[in-house]
Structure 1
Amino acid sequence: MALMPRPAFAAQTFDIRHFGARGDGETLDTDAINAAIHAAARAGGGVVTIPAGRYLCFSIRLASRVSLRFEAGAVIIAADPARHAGRYDLPEDRGAQLYQDFGHSHWHNSLIWGDGVEDVALEGPGRIEGGALTRNGPGARWQAQTGERPLSMQHMTKAEITALESDHAAMERLGNKAIALRMGRRIRLSGLTIAGGGHIAVLATGTQGLTIENLTIDTARDGIDLDCVRDVTVSGCRINTPNDDAIVVKSSLALGEKIASENVTIRDCQVSGYDLGTMLSGTNGTTQALAPDRDRPTGRIKLGTESNGGYHHILIERCRFAHCRGLALETVDGGAMEDVIARELFMEDVTTAPIFVRVGNRGRGPHGTAIGSTRGIRIERVFAQAIDPRYPAILAGIPGHPVRDVTLSQINLTYAGGGTASDAARQVPEVPNAYPEPSMFGVLPAWGLWMRDVERISLDRIALATAAPDARPPIMLDRATG
């Protein structure tokens, strides 16, 4: 899949200092930066330069045919409404958003946002410091709450849930994303560092022709979320997200209709779940035991959870996973997952299953939402070691709706071992409508590869090993055909 062409911009440059920006880290520079962007747009396009300095800002509004160039030493700092005179742009009034959470349903309440913009670039080597952005926000208003949260959260108190999912009124002045893009065309994000991105460091919804390259992100929740996108390349990024997913492709109902994510390439990226901030510091800490969902640190590449529109033609290659969950390919809200290739993946210290392919029936969508399907899934040349011994590689459908047409080739997995005879005798619950995580099944009765409700699965050159003895069988199949 070829990289998208770089957008063409007019020759004019607009220095934000000429519009009154101070860059002292104390003066609000929001108006000056927005004035420079507006001037460039009125001129037909141009480059807004952000020189070295620390620029305290609320919402910065992108415009078509205008790029932002962060020079070395340039830092945009997210302002805090509790301490600074101002607020972020209000979340759009889009009516009741039933089927995805607040963070994925709004874009304007962000540090930097563009709605319907075309031919835009944000280029480093500068930095965004989003420590004042909130990671919290309301969950979906979906009425059928089964499957809304992972089973690992089922014993949390109401107060603990509320602490993570604040109500809508609490979000009125806050920003909860570093960069948000809706319905954009031909956009490039390159060379930036994001230290703290709120709920989502980069959210792109309904965006076409997007290139994300060489970003460094260390944040308290999601890294890069691609929702209902087309023709996207993510390359050369380093993303640390101990509390949520690092790179995730979704196809939600955020735009009010089913839209597939298609023609997406993720290559040469590194994802991790190190202690927050320690990837940027270079210390790569591993003291955090659990993510907020009460499962082990996250930081992975995932398709899902929202899958209403499906995914088509997805390529994930030459990526490294460190101290994080493994590759997850999920369709549980309807939608077909077709023509997905994941190859040359290297994993170290895997905090859950190294490979997780799931067809389920969470069904978060309008009444009558169908059950999803898989076709043409190829997972090749995966090398993983120091894997959590509780969870083998998992391919799991539900009765009547198998995981179908998957090839696993040249897979080399080494687990910690230590499973017991009682583990081997466990009866695995069905949980067809649960939120999809490997831990939903509990400790599994095989240590290397567990498959249930599968059809037309091809295994080629599979190497499985344990560092310590394990009383479970290496491979177990249940309701498998073809």
Structure 2
Amino acid sequence: MYANVKEFGAAGDGVAVDTRAIQRALDAGGIVYFPPGTYRTGTIYLRSRGGILLDAGAVIQANPDLSDYNADDFCPQNRVLRDELVSGRHLIVAVEQQEITIAGEGRIDGNFSAWMNEPDPTFGVTPPFFKRHPERPGQMIYLCECTDVRIRDVELTNASYWHCFLHGCERVTISGVRIYGSPRVINNDGIDLDCCRHVTVSGCIILTADDSLTLRADFEPLKKPRICEYITVSNCVFSSDFANAIRVGVGNGEIRRCTFSNISISDSRTGICVASRYWERDRGVTVSDLDFNGLQLYARRPFCIKLDNQRTLNPPCARRIGDLSFSNISGTAERSSYLTGNPEGKLEGITFRDLRLRYGGKGPAPDRDEHGHWGCSSTAAAFELENASGIEFRNVAIDWELDASGWRQDVRATGCDRLEIADCRFRKGVEEKPLLT
């Protein structure tokens, strides 16, 4: 039997603030049942061998009153990314707990419009993003250094920042989760797995403006540093309007031994992005042994694999990205895929096998498109390679739309060695040239 949250005084009428009643129920131990209703709350803390079960029609909704939330320094692992204009507040929290459950057919609603409801013209995006409020809550669900976590069947929506963040967690199952983020809210990632081990993500639908799913390696805030490894993502649907459906990178640690299979990616700026270093403050992430198999990929840019996310980062990233496999993938594209290394690090051992992509678009393009969205640059090659080693294309076909006149090459490789091409249909050809110094 589950404890009914209403027996602890929760009203569930969408007007009363139920934070204290919900916390009393959670502190009593076990899993707390939420019958249909809207439960307005600030931060609630899950306890070991407990959690929440949301009936269909039950909604946990973020309270607009900021005094109802945790302090930024409530635990030593919590971090605040002030450059993204966000606080360290969270809606649902578990820190160093075991056997945590978030389940049911109900909804967890971040209520972003309580903090973000004015258009922000500074981005130059059409339609404009909502202006970021520096006091908006951070990650809606924040689980840190927990073990044996189960998140299933719930709907997560309207986060003002990331929807679900797991940092340093082990033995995690996420299944059947539906995440719907507003296309006008910047930074509203779906699921972020940071320094997590032994994780499965399956049967999820994640539709966001920012990254749908990320693997990260920022171990420094944790009490026990961990490698991000042994993660399996399967049978999911992802869409990221202005960012990456799948993003790998961020931090100073290591990401390895992860698989992605049977995934449908649509309406995304970039399908798969692997970048060792995103910010100048980081040293970069070592990435290896990733396998992507059986994807339908309908994105403006299929792949972006870089040691440095931006050429302006200095000094160049000295880490390694290698041993990546992309196979059995089909879809459409209209921007170049980038594989970009540098003389200090290593970008090597990347295989594309059994791919078929239909390319449209006009080829060369600036970094912003006609709507002001960034990260949309393109060259005249479908695959633009630079400073990479051991790149293999095997049984890869690129089909060109009739109006794709601006494209000049299927593959252009600059300063690369051990480029292997076998059984491919590259009608515009391959160009190899040395790197200019």
TM-score if structure 1 supplies the norm length? 0.74
Find 1:481's aligned residue among 395, 404, 417: 417
CA distance in 2, matches of 1:319, 1:87: 39
Larger displacement relative to structure 2 (73-82 or 52-61):
73-82
Aligned to 1:119: 99
CA distance in 2, matches of 1:127, 1:237: 14
Superposed CA offset, 1:11-55 (max 9, x none): x52111110111111111111111011111xxxxx2211111111
Aligned to 1:250: 216
- Secondary structure of residue in 2 paired with 1:225: strand
Aligned to 2:427: none
> CA 1:107/1:234 → structure 2, altered by over 3 Å: closer, same or farther?
farther
CA distance in 2, matches of 1:134, 1:401: 44
Please state how far the C-alpha of 1:199 moved relative to its aligned partner: 0.8
Superposed CA offset, 1:85-134 (max 9, x none): x4211111678999x82599999721111111110101011111211477
Partner AA of 2:296 in structure 1: F
The answer to which structure, 1 or 2, has the higher relative contact order (CA under 8 A, 6+ apart) is 1
Please state how far the C-alpha of 1:374 moved relative to its aligned partner: 1.9
Alignment of 1:375 onto 2:322: yes
Aligned to 1:233: 200
Partner AA of 2:327 in structure 1: E
> CA 1:108/1:480 → structure 2, altered by over 3 Å: closer, same or farther?
closer
Aligned-pair identity in percent equals: 22
Superposed CA offset, 1:332-378 (max 9, x none): 24232111001111122x23x2011112287999x999621022211
Which sections of structure 2, spanning at least 5 residues, go unmatched?
278-282, 368-373, 419-437
Aligned to 1:470: 405
CA distance in 2, matches of 1:479, 1:473: 16
CA distance in 2, matches of 1:30, 1:13: 19
> CA 1:360/1:132 → structure 2, altered by over 3 Å: closer, same or farther?
closer
Contact 1:103 1:200 in 2 (8 A): no
Superposed CA offset, 1:128-158 (max 9, x none): 121147788xxxxxxxxxxxxxxxx9998xx
> CA 1:198/1:105 → structure 2, altered by over 3 Å: closer, same or farther?
closer
Alignment of 1:359 onto 2:307: yes
Contact 1:317 1:344 in 2 (8 A): yes
Normalized per residue, the structure richer in strand is 2
Q: How big is the alpha-carbon RMSD for the aligned residues of Structure 1 and Structure 2?
A: 3.4
Which sections of structure 1, spanning at least 5 residues, go unmatched?
1-11, 41-45, 137-152, 275-296, 429-436
Superposed CA offset, 1:426-473 (max 9, x none): 9x9xxxxxxxx854xx43131x21111110111110100121232412
CA distance in 2, matches of 1:24, 1:418: 53
Find 2:59's aligned residue among 75, 82, 90: 75
Alignment of 1:318 onto 2:318: no
Aligned to 1:193: 155
- Secondary structure of residue in 1 paired with 2:68: coil
1:271-282 alignment, distance < 5 Å: 271-273=238-240
Partner AA of 1:410 in structure 2: D
CA distance in 1, matches of 2:64, 2:123: 33
Contact 1:272 1:298 in 2 (8 A): no
Partner AA of 1:88 in structure 2: Y
